[in-house]
Amino acid sequence: MGTGRIGAALALALVAGSAAAEETRIAITLTIEPSAVQRLLDMGEWVTVSAYYFGNAASDAAPVEEDGSVYLGGETFQVHPAESQVIVLGGSIAAMPRDWVVAPEINVNVFTARYAAEDNLIDCDLVEGPVAEIAAAQNAISCRWLGE
């Protein structure tokens, strides 16, 4: 292998390493009560996990929303109902305009996908806070059938 190829391979490894260093993984353990899982499965309904990234403006270039926050982006996953599963978020954080905000924050909501019913059918906890803290924590969202 020539010197040029070794140098190119080293540069590629360094770029891949720095991208991996910027990757932020946010693991959420999602649990749904067994009776709610069964009801969702019986009707063919799925579950939506929605993450909304935002923060307080740190730059005049940041497009500020009516509530004073700056929207950075979001992630949405549709998952099959299960009693327990781990959802991994954060794949898009490295590409977000994080310099627009003082510190990026996240809000994670879980609700039914509304394939089989027009209304949300489950009541779930929320996860919200600074991305750095949430990424370092063990996060859990529990869901139950709405109204039970």
What tens digit of pLDDT does each residue of 53-84 get? 999 999 888 999 998 899 999 999 999 999 99
- The three-state secondary structure class of 121 is coil
Cβ neighbour number for residue 120 with a 10 Å cutoff: 15
What tens digit of pLDDT does each residue of 102-142 get? 999 999 999 999 999 999 999 999 999 999 999 999 999 99
What tens digit of pLDDT does each residue of 7-55 get? 444 444 444 443 444 568 999 999 999 999 999 999 999 999 999 999 9
CB-based contact 64:96 (threshold 8 Å): no
Structure tokens belonging to residue 60: 């005049």
DSSP 118: S
List Cα–Cα distances, 47 to 1, 23, 89, in angstroms: 51, 25, 15
Task: Write the DSSP assignment of 38-102 as a string of letters.
Answer: HHHHHHT--EEEEEEEEEEB-STTS-B-TTSEEEEEEEEEEE---SEEEEEE-TTGGGS-GGGBS
Q: How far apart are CA 144 and CA 148, in angstroms?
A: 7
CB-based contact 112:121 (threshold 8 Å): yes
Structural domains in the chain, CATH included, are 24-145 (2.60.40)
